Amino acid sequence: MKRDVISMLDVKDDLLDIIALSRQLKTKSKKGESIKLLKDKTLAMLFEKSSTRTRVSFEVGMTKLGGHAIFLSTNDIQLGRGETIEDTALVLSRYVDLIMYRAKSNLAMQELAHHATVPVINGLDDQEHPCQVITDLMTIQEHKDTLKDRTFVYIGDGNNNMAHSYLLGCGIVGMHCRIVAPKPYWPDQKYVNRVKDFGITVDITDDISTATQKADVVATDTWVSMGDETEKEKRLTQFKAYTITQKIMQQAQPDAIFLHCLPAYYGYEVTKEVAHGPQSVIFDEAENRLWAQIGIMVTLAKNTE
């Protein structure tokens, strides 16, 4: 049976195993040992939105695994001229072993996954960004050893793909989760309700003055996600008080780390001083996209063997 990773919930039973595999393959590859576990396999990378990290890390990851990746922009393929998602999924499934899709909507993502007969990996949609959050949990584990019972604080747009996947990710690994955002940008209630089943403390607040208290991890994301551009001016005004500054970091645990999935807009969601400062691990995080996705691809390909 093929297995997809569309939501964090799709890895709820083996998230820590995927992270362990990713870390093991990272160590092996860095020692110069071969990790060609997907020899002769092909990954189609289907993009409806821009990307730097997702595109490069998936392609390099597939090369390291001994396979091949094909970049497909929807501007260039027939999907952009009206071919259906269903036919695109059925045709790609005849050629490739895995599909990574960056979609404008979660609906399109679900549709592609439904029709594809090979595993589909969500490389971001408007609801979730699971590859990034699996990567971030791996990065937190590398820096803090344990995830369970840590306090994770996300400040910024609480209603975007990163916030939703963080909520679910925290639930799965047992980290306390605080989302700090202006009220109109609180998370979709669907995710809040779902994460409560995992028994973690979830705290959603608009109070920036105590936002980072007891935080082991402080994270943010852009205030204007891809697709939100028409609301840019309104958002910049509404989020004005939520910039992560050195002062806000100082209220966290002294050894707290700072995460940002990137791209970052300095002076808005975070100052450059924090993002490039001693507590920041954003470039370890960016690198780990490569290793976490290697772990994800190997896990999914194993499932279809």
C-beta of residue 116 within 8 angstroms of C-beta of residue 91: no
Which C-beta is closer to ligand CP: that of 4 or that of 285? 285
How far is 52 from 192, CA to CA, in rounded Å?
Answer: 30
Q: Which of 221, 235, 279, 293 is catalytic?
A: 221
Dihedral sign (CA 11, 12, 18, 19): positive
Q: Is 293 near ligand CP (CB under 6 A)?
A: no
| Total residues in contact with ligand NVA, by rule CB under 6 A | 9
Report the alpha-carbon distance of residue 53 to residue 286 in Å, rounded: 7
Q: Map the footprint of ligand NVA across residues 156-215, applying CB under 6 A.
A: 160-162
With both helix axes pointing from N to C terminus, report the angle between 282-304 and 130-144 in degrees, rounded to the nearest 10. 120
Residues 104-143: x where in contact with ligand CP by CB under 6 A, - otherwise, as a string: --------------------x-------x-----------
Determine, following the binding rule CB under 6 A, whether residue 108 of this chain makes contact with ligand NVA.
no
Residue 115 is among the residues annotated as catalytic for this protein: no
Residue 293, binding choice from ligand CP, ligand NVA, none, Cβ under 5 to 8 Å by partner class: none
- List the end-to-end C-alpha distance of the chain, in Å, as a whole number: 9
- Residues 257 and 143: beta-carbon distance below 8 Å: yes
Residue 88 in the binding site for ligand NVA (CB under 6 A): no
Nearest-approach distance from CB 77 to ligand CP, in angstroms: 19
**Among this protein's residues, is 246 annotated catalytic?**
no
Q: List Cα–Cα distances, 4 to 8, 152, 194, in angstroms.
A: 11, 27, 19
- The question of whether 221 is a catalytic residue gets the answer yes
Mask for 71-100, x = binds ligand CP (CB under 6 A)? ------------------------------
225 binds ligand NVA (CB under 6 A): yes
Q: Is 265 in the site for ligand CP (CB under 6 A)?
A: no
Of 131, 170, 177, 261, which is the active-site residue? Answer: 261
Eight-class DSSP state of 187: P
Eight-class DSSP state of 232: H
Q: Provide CB contacts within 8 A for 294, sequence distance 6+.
A: 22, 25, 26, 35, 61, 64, 65
Per the annotation, the verdict on 170 as an active-site residue is no
By C-beta, is 67 or 130 nearer to ligand CP?
Answer: 130
Q: Indicate the DSSP class of residue 132.
A: H
x-marked contacts with ligand NVA along 254-273 as a string, rule CB under 6 A: -------x------------
User: Should residue 60 be labelled a site residue for ligand CP when binding is judged by CB under 6 A?
Assistant: no
The 23-52 contact track toward ligand CP, x by CB under 6 A, reads ----------------------------xx
Helices marked H in the chain — which ranges?
Answer: 15-30, 53-64, 85-95, 106-115, 130-144, 161-173, 189-196, 232-238, 246-250, 272-275, 282-304
In the bound state with ligand CP, the residue whose beta carbon lies nearer, of 124 and 296, is 124
Task: Select the binding partner of residue 52 from ligand NVA, ligand CP, none (C-beta < 5 to 8 A, by kind).
Answer: ligand CP
Task: Of 219, 300, 289, 304, give the one whose Cα is nearest residue 17.
Answer: 300
Instruction: Please state the three-class secondary structure of 197-209 as a single string.
Output: CCCCCEEEECCHH
Residues making contact with ligand NVA (CB under 6 A): 124, 160-162, 221-222, 225-226, 261
Q: Which residues are catalytic?
A: 102, 129, 132, 221, 261, 289
